[in-house]
Amino acid sequence: QSALTQPASVSGSPGQSITISCTGTSSDVGAYNYVSWYQQHPGKAPKLMIYDVSNRPSGVSFRFSGSKSGSRASLTISGLQAEDEADYYCSSYTSSSTWVFGGGTRLTVL
């Protein structure tokens, strides 16, 4: 199972919006609406930010939103804040009853 494809890095200024893409195949992202997104600050455990493509867990800011079209999912962060600077990973359930992660995207808030 190959990793999902994410850009290595994205950047934006405070207050701006950014979008991180996550490209998979018809066996994972394209097969189910089971894409999730995780935020990871240095030295910390990942934190769930979006699940089932576009749902936010309790406590996650409304500035985080997710979407999907075909085998490509996206995470959008609006109103960028300094604390959003972190690594972001997408994940998808697969048709093999396994999970696959993206390679990760480093978000820099300029």
Q: Which residues bind to another protein, rule: CB under 8 A? A: 1, 3, 32-34, 36, 38, 40, 45-48, 51-52, 55, 57, 89, 91, 93, 96-104
Cβ atoms of 103 and 6 within 8 Å: the answer is yes
The CB-of-6 to another protein minimum distance in angstroms stands at 9
Taking the least distance from each CB to another protein, the nearer of 17 and 26 is 26
Query: Given the DSSP bridges, would you call strands 86-93 and 35-40 parallel, antiparallel or unpaired?
Result: antiparallel
Closest by CA to 50, choosing from 98, 1, 92, 105, is 92
The CB-of-46 to another protein minimum distance in angstroms stands at 6
